[in-house]
Amino acid sequence: MSGQYLNIVSFTIPFPANYGGVIDVYYKLLALKNHGIKVILHCYQYDREPAPQLEPLCEKVYYYARNTGFTAQLSFKPYIVKSRQSSELLRNLLSNSYPILFEGLHSCYFLDHPALKNHLKIYRESNIEHQYYLNLAKSERKLSHRIFFLIESLKLKFFQQVLANADLMLVVSEQDTKYLQKKFPGKKIIYLPSFHGNTEVKSLSGIGKYVLYHGNLSVAENERVAEFLIREVFEGQDIPLIIAGLNPSLQLKNLASAKGIKLTENPSDQEMSKLIQDAQINLLVTFQATGLKLKLLNTLFNGRFCLVNRQMLSGTGLEDLCVIAESATEIRNKVEQLFISEFEAQLLEKRRSILQERYSDEVNVSKMLELIQNTQPT
């Protein structure tokens, strides 16, 4: 497929690549560029500035205003979809006959549009969105936010049927693949892990001096995990815990300060990489199992011990590379054991073998292009 064109509709501007969904989009663009694919990128601008860094990776970059606000909520379509309705986008997609890759359910407003019936349409899954929003509702404290997430979850569950119009679905986890195959029997639904940008395992041997939990701390679930670790795992512990991530709330900052926990707010990419690499244990806990947790991959490529719960591993096939614990007591016990254990060369080699076989961007972009090449519009 070298030298051919591909439209990509991204739910946001995929730079900087500093959280899950945009990491997949950005490093996919990079991998496609390396294979000679000419990408026409369509992305929505609402909380990020236009990114000149994307221009060398793409043939053309279009930006569309996202219609945020109350009126976008007054629709049977989910807010994350309705607010991305753009007649300009539709005109630009119709200006060529190239395949269209829709990134996430957010970007699928025009997936069933009759004018696009002759285009090859590919859906790139990142989450089972209605499940994700239901879990956001469970994690949310504010009643108004909880109600919004519950309504959005119902709308997303109904809107999910639009995926019947996709000619090909590329799904980030094995568990989500099975779910969509059951929902849409007869459709071409393929497991294709997230793109992540790591080309080699850089984990350090030896022993680190702290435990790290990191994530987008403005997301209610991640804040809930951070509070769980502070209150139930590290309460009374002498082992240092660092919590790092984007936009922590004042409540979380106050809790960390009161408990003597170091909180690193909005670290740069370089700072975050160093925190991951120097930690003795990267502690990754989630309370929902949809999607592929990209921070798990990044940690395995760059960190020492990776201590997780089973929901973090769901559908990844990475159980052999992690230490698993579920309850607060189990996590505490594993932290105490691993904190004094050396990360040895044999563990490093095992990671290299498994990660480079299953999670190579180079291998996965070749697979993706072959699938697109061998799929016809239906």
- 121-144 per-position pLDDT tens digit: 999 999 999 999 998 898 888 899
Q: Is the peptide bond before 16 cis (omega within 30 degrees of 0)?
A: yes
pLDDT tens-digit readout, 332-369: 999 999 999 999 889 999 999 999 888 999 999 999 99
Whole-prediction pTM: 0.88
Q: What proportion of the chain, given as a percentage, has pLDDT over 90?
A: 82
Average pLDDT, the chain: 93
> Which residues make Cβ contacts (< 8 Å) with residue 110, sequence separation at least 6?
89, 90, 93, 116
Are 219 and 247 in contact by the 8 Å Cβ rule? The answer is no
Top-confidence residue, 173 or 166: 166
The full set of domains in the chain, from first to last, is 5-196+360-373 (3.40.50.2000), 211-358 (3.40.50.2000)
The mean pLDDT of 209-235, rounded to a whole number, is: 93
Check residue 295 and give its pLDDT.
Answer: 86
Torsion on CA atoms 361, 363, 366, 370, rounded to nearest 10: -130
DSSP 1-31: -TT-EEEEEESS---S--SHHHHHHHHHHHH
The string of DSSP letters for 152-214 reads HHHHHHHHGGGGGG-SEEEESSHHHHHHHHHHSTTS-EEE-PPP----S-----B--S-EEEE
* pLDDT score at 156: 98
